[in-house]
Amino acid sequence: MAEIQIYHNPRCRKSREGLQFLRDHGVEPVIIDYLKNPPTANELKALSVKLGIKPREFIRRTEAEYKALDLKPHLDEDDLLFDAMASHPKLIERPIVVNGNRAVVGRPAEAILALL
């Protein structure tokens, strides 16, 4: 089995629940504190493929940065959103759990079961 990773924000309750869910299922993941070590735009593109969703679907629209950057829907927006999330990692939905070539947003934590 591939090493499981979690893009984690220790200050976020949902992210802590996702990490605990993994541990409760006997998994000690590689923890990526994405606020301290933000993924690049290319890494976010790869995550998007693993998630099977567009960046608009895993960007946090309630963050102040989202409003300040005026990231309203555009026709050709993917690169703009990947760049915004790489520059402002608070915009990345959390937690994201990766197992090999697959990933899920762990909201709710039970969604992580699809990877185990």
Closest CA to 51 of 8, 13, 93: 93
Out of 1, 9, 10, 12, the active site residue is 12
Cβ contacts of residue 1 below 8 Å, gap of 6+?
A: 99, 100
Q: Give catalytic status of residue 12 as yes or no.
A: yes
Q: Could you tell me the two tokens for 67?
A: 């409003």
What is the side-by-side order of every strand in the sheet holding 4-8? 30-33, 4-8, 96-99, 102-105
Catalytic residues: 12
